[in-house]
Amino acid sequence: MKSLAIATTNLRRFIRDRGNIFFVFIFPMLLILVFGTSFGGDFNARLAVIVESEGELARDLVTGLEGLDTVNVIAIETEAAAVRGVERGELEAAVIIPANYDSNITAGIPVDLQYLARSGQEGNSLRSNLESVVTQQAVILRAARFAESEGLATFAAALVTAGETAANIGLVTVEVTAVGEAFSLDLLGQFDSSAQTQLILFVFLTSLAGSAALIQTRRLGVAKRMIATPTSVGNVLLGEGLGRYLVALVQGLFIMLGTWLIFGVDWGDPILATVILLIFALVGSGAAMLMGAVFSNDEQAGGMGVLFGLGFAALGGCMVPLQVFELISPGLYKVAHITPHAWALEAFDSIVLNNGTFADIAVFLAILLGYALVLYTLAIWRLRVVLTR
């Protein structure tokens, strides 16, 4: 009971700090939103269309652009708005269909489409898509013009017939077959990858930051005063460790539940996902206890906590996915697994991507438990020395 009282006191102290409320609960969710919106899911290029003509041919051209799978067509009123959107990166490109589009084509006069885009691969790719749609319409127009020149029908009648014929002609289809294993990031939802990495990053980082409270407890003599009462050293150490564990666990559960409710993140089997969190929280709290035992200055511990937390996160796949490490540098991929972060992410990938069972992640969990055991053993040994001398 004394250990639990010490743990809950530490948890209350942590939550009462208003700065912790932002960095522990709000900030991770904001990062998940930003990363998921920016990098998650499929990306469709934004193409603005300014239609100055109200004719049938102009509408057919817009319909063709809207039929492109990788393009989102956005109607915009003015050229100035399109230029501003492209300049600010709000649009990838814009096309202006002039007011004389239908009348000039009907009269056999060439028509110029104005295309606005930044220089680069995206602009060139969109231009190719636009040209393909224009070419499809041009084929129908040439067929109608030919029928008119041969005296078979008026241009308007021939255009209708050519359009109907083109719609009934079987097009060449291309079947794409994936060979080998799919890139795992492509199988995740828009926010899934960022939710997993930010969960691991912040649970560990927040735990390390909590080591400062343990150092303050030592420096102010609170720990020794507790030992002077009928409270054993073991109870004090258990309470301090449990307090840090509860902080890590509360934050982790908040992130998991919050992202599931708000962003629809798939965490796989909820029981297995919770088990992974429970064990990784042990690793984080063990690292916090060790730092609290080794350092004697809370400011120094805070700075080193951020350094270790971000450094391990970067190396362990929380900033650049492990799958990318594996592709560009197998050696770096192996080095990443010296961190507990990599093993936790591997466990999440197993249950989310492969519907893994407990047996599939047992090795990952055992490795994480090994990290926790080593960290807690070193921390308890060092704290016993510090508190009893």
Q: What angle do CA 70, 55, 135 make, to 5 degrees?
A: 45
Q: Within this chain, do residues 235 and 112 fall inside the same structural domain, yes or no?
A: no
DSSP for residue 357 = -
Contact status, residue 203 vs residue 284, Cβ threshold 8 Å: yes
Contact status, residue 252 vs residue 279, Cβ threshold 8 Å: no
Q: What is the structure's pLDDT at 370? A: 97
Q: Within this chain, do residues 247 and 278 fall inside the same structural domain, yes or no?
A: yes
Side-chain-side CA neighbours of 111 within 13 Å: the count stands at 22
Lookup: tokens for 252: 């982790």
Query: Is residue 52, in this structure, part of any structural domain at all?
Result: yes
Q: Within this chain, do residues 268 and 374 fall inside the same structural domain, yes or no?
A: yes
Query: Is residue 244, in this structure, part of any structural domain at all?
Result: yes
Q: What angle do CA 94, 99, 105 make, to 5 degrees?
A: 100
Query: Is residue 117, in this structure, part of any structural domain at all?
Result: yes
The closest alpha carbon to 27, from 173, 199, 142, belongs to: 199
Q: Which residue has the tokens 């060790």?
A: 290
Q: Within this chain, do residues 33 and 53 fall inside the same structural domain, yes or no?
A: no
Q: What is the structure's pLDDT at 43? A: 60
Q: Within this chain, do residues 132 and 35 fall inside the same structural domain, yes or no?
A: no
Query: Is residue 98, in this structure, part of any structural domain at all?
Result: yes
Q: How many domains does the chain have?
A: 2
The closest alpha carbon to 196, from 297, 319, 282, 300, belongs to: 319
Distance in angstroms (rounded) separating the CA atoms of residues 258 and 242: 24
Q: Within this chain, do residues 123 and 158 fall inside the same structural domain, yes or no?
A: yes
Full DSSP string of 208-272: HHTHHHHHHHHHTTHHHHHHHSS--HHHHHHHHHHHHHHHHHHHHHHHHHHHHHHT----SSHHH
Contact status, residue 197 vs residue 287, Cβ threshold 8 Å: no
CATH of the domain at 137: 3.40.1710.10
Q: Within this chain, do residues 197 and 119 fall inside the same structural domain, yes or no?
A: no
Q: Within this chain, do residues 126 and 159 fall inside the same structural domain, yes or no?
A: yes
Q: What is the structure's pLDDT at 78? A: 85
Q: What is the structure's pLDDT at 41? A: 54
Lookup: tokens for 46: 């934004």
Edge-to-edge strands of the sheet including 114-117?
Answer: 71-75, 45-51, 93-97, 114-117
Which range of residues forms the domain containing residue 248?
Answer: 2-39+188-388
Cα dihedral across residues 297, 303, 309, 311: positive or negative: negative
Contacts of 272 by beta carbon, 8 Å cutoff, 6+ apart = 351, 356, 357, 358, 361
Distance in angstroms (rounded) separating the CA atoms of residues 41 and 185: 9
Query: Is residue 115, in this structure, part of any structural domain at all?
Result: yes
Q: What angle do CA 362, 363, 364 make, to 5 degrees?
A: 90
Contacts of 299 by beta carbon, 8 Å cutoff, 6+ apart = 212
Q: Within this chain, do residues 14 and 155 fall inside the same structural domain, yes or no?
A: no
Q: Which residues of the chain have pLDDT under 70?
A: 1, 38-43, 166-189, 222-224, 228, 389
Query: Is residue 179, in this structure, part of any structural domain at all?
Result: no
Give the Cβ contact number of residue 70 at 10 Å: 12
Q: What is the structure's pLDDT at 167? A: 64
The closest alpha carbon to 138, from 159, 107, 117, 114, belongs to: 159
Query: Is residue 174, in this structure, part of any structural domain at all?
Result: no
Helix (H) or strand (E) holding 180: none
What are the φ/ψ torsions at residue 355 (nearest 5 degrees)? 50, 45
Query: Is residue 177, in this structure, part of any structural domain at all?
Result: no
Contact status, residue 16 vs residue 253, Cβ threshold 8 Å: no
102-151: pLDDT as tens digits: 888 877 788 888 888 877 777 787 888 888 888 888 888 888 777 877 77
Q: What is the structure's pLDDT at 40? A: 59
Q: What is the structure's pLDDT at 259? A: 94
Q: Within this chain, do residues 138 and 242 fall inside the same structural domain, yes or no?
A: no
Distance in angstroms (rounded) separating the CA atoms of residues 114 and 91: 15
334-376: pLDDT as tens digits: 999 999 999 999 999 999 988 999 999 999 999 999 999 999 9
Cα dihedral across residues 225, 230, 231, 232: positive or negative: positive
Q: Within this chain, do residues 49 and 33 fall inside the same structural domain, yes or no?
A: no
Contacts of 179 by beta carbon, 8 Å cutoff, 6+ apart = none
Q: Within this chain, do residues 266 and 142 fall inside the same structural domain, yes or no?
A: no
Helix segments in the chain, DSSP class H: 2-16, 18-21, 27-39, 56-66, 79-87, 101-106, 121-149, 155-168, 192-209, 211-219, 222-228, 233-262, 270-294, 298-315, 322-328, 330-336, 340-353, 358-388
